[in-house]
């Protein structure tokens, strides 16, 4: 089912403008989260502490935006008593804002590691991280696009493609562990890179959460249990 209800407007026009304002805010908070990811990765690559600080500053704005969206959603639910599609969309918006804020937190967490990672070390597996970040960021972008266009199919695709980020994580995890076994001196930095990979993987998961919310908002149904590959958040569970 891929219906859009933008075709008809509400009899109460102000409701429509409330909803479109909230969509705009979600687009903004999403944009900031994506920007945080890319800045954090750039800071990491260039060991740029100023850039890292900018990510931390950006996160404060993300937090403020989340708070604003939450307030607006609660207000709209109280005042407009939304039903059906509107109710689902508002609930989705409320949850998405929280999830996107978490994504911002992960980006901030990456940026914070810039200062403590010894830049001169050459850790081969870490070179995969920018590509992984690219994939995760793309997931976030697509999930937010699905939200903006109320596209259930795209949301479904996002959930499907989370597997790519998970695969990245498994690969990086294994090769980093191998690398650290071979180079005990690199264990400190390697652990940081491990956490960064973990953060990127969580970003991908949260993108999936956003997509699930979008799917629910659009279709009224949960996306359902699907084959998700491994659960890489638990290393013990990873492939033998």
Partner 1 sequence: MNNPASPASSETAMIGSRSTDWHGEAMQKRIARRYAAERRFKYLGLSAIVISSLFLAFLLFVMIGNGIKGFSTTQVAVPIDFASATGGASPDQIRGEDAERALNSLDISGIVNTAIEIEYGADAADIFTENSWTDVRDALLSNPDMIGENTTVWLTAKSEIDRAAKDDTDEKFEALYAKLKDAGKAQSGFNWGFLTGADGTDPARVGIWGALKGSIITMLVTLALAFPVGVLAAVYLEEYAPSNRITDFIEVSINNLAAVPSIIFGLLGLVVFLSWLELPRSSALVGGLVLALMTMPVIVIAGRNSIKSVPPSIREAALGVGASPVQVVFHHVLPLALPGIMTGTIIGMARALGETAPLLMIGMRAFLTSPPQGLTDPSTVLPVQIYLWSDEVNRGFVEKTSAAIIVLLIFLLTMNAFAIYLRNRFETRW
Partner 2 sequence: MNTETTNIASSNKMTTRNVDVFYGEKQAINGVSIDIDMENVTAFIGPSGCGKSTFLRTMNRMNDTIPSCRVTGEITLDGEDIYAPSMDVVQLRARVGMVFQKPNPFPKSIYDNIAYGPRIHGLASGKDELDQIVEKSLQRAGLWNEVKDRLNESGTALSGGQQQRLCIARAIAVDPEVILMDEPCSALDPIATAKIEELIHELRGKYAIVIVTHNMQQAARVSQRTAFFHLGTMVEYGDTSEMFTNPQEERTRDYITGRYG
**Binding site residues, partner 1, CB under 8 A:** 9, 13, 16-17, 19-20
Minimal distance in Å, beta carbon 70 to partner 2?
21
Distance CA 83, CA 89 (A): 10
Distance CA 183, CA 123 (A): 9
Q: Is 167 in the site for partner 2 (CB under 8 A)?
A: no
Q: Quick one: 28 exposed, middle or buried, by C-beta within 10 A (0-12, 13-18, 19+)? A: middle
Query: Looking only at residues 183 through 222 of this chain, which bind partner 2 when binding is defined by CB under 8 A?
Result: 219-221
Q: Of the candidates 212, 29, 49, which has an alpha carbon nearest to the alpha carbon of residue 105?
A: 29
Minimal distance in Å, beta carbon 224 to partner 2?
15
Question: Within 13 Å of residue 133, how many CA atoms lie on the same side as its CB?
Answer: 25
Residue from 18, 86, 105, 162 in contact with partner 2 (CB under 8 A): 86
Q: Is 10 in the site for partner 2 (CB under 8 A)?
A: yes
Nearest to partner 1 of 10, 228 (CB atom): 10
Q: Is 85 in the site for partner 2 (CB under 8 A)?
A: yes
Distance CA 170, CA 181 (A): 17
Residue from 39, 43, 73, 82 in contact with partner 2 (CB under 8 A): 82
Interface with partner 2 (CB under 8 A), residue total 19
Minimal distance in Å, beta carbon 214 to partner 2?
15
**Tokens coding 163:** 């597997």
**Tokens coding 220:** 């009224």
Distance CA 238, CA 240 (A): 6
Distance CA 184, CA 153 (A): 46
Minimal distance in Å, beta carbon 154 to partner 2?
20
Q: Which residue has the tokens 């599609």?
A: 85
Minimal distance in Å, beta carbon 20 to partner 1?
4
Nearest to partner 1 of 4, 17 (CB atom): 17
Q: Is 88 in the site for partner 2 (CB under 8 A)?
A: yes
DSSP conformation letters of 172-195: HHHHHHHHHHH-GGGHHHHHHHHH
Nearest to partner 1 of 22, 159 (CB atom): 22
Minimal distance in Å, beta carbon 81 to partner 2?
6
Report the interface residues with partner 2, using CB under 8 A. 3, 5, 8-12, 15, 81-88, 219-221
């Amino acid at each position: 089912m891929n219906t859009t209800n933008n075709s008809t407007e509400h009899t109460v026009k102000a409701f429509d403008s409330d909803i479109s304002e909230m969509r705009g805010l979600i687009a903004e908070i999403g944009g900031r989260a994506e920007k945080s990811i890319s800045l954090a990765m750039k800071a990491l690559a260039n060991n740029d502490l100023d850039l890292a600080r900018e990510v931390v500053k950006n996160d404060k704005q993300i937090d403020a935006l989340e708070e604003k969206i939450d307030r607006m959603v609660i207000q709209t639910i109280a005042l407009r008593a939304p039903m059906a599609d509107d109710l689902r969309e508002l609930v989705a918006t409320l949850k998405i804002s929280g999830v996107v804020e978490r994504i911002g937190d992960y980006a901030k967490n990456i940026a914070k590691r810039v200062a403590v990672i010894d830049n001169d070390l050459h850790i081969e597996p870490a070179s995969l991280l920018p590509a992984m970040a690219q994939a995760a960021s793309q997931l976030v972008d697509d999930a937010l696009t699905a939200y903006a266009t109320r596209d259930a199919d795209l949301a479904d695709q996002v959930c499907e493609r989370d597997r790519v980020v998970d695969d990245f994580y498994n690969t990086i995890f294994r090769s980093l562990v191998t690398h650290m076994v071979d180079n005990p001196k690199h264990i400190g930095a390697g652990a940081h890179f491990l956490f960064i990979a973990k953060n990127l993987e969580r970003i991908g998961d949260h993108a999936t959460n956003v997509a699930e919310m979008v799917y629910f908002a659009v279709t009224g149904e949960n996306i359902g249990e699907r084959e998700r590959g491994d659960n890489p958040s638990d290393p013990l569970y990873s492939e033998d």
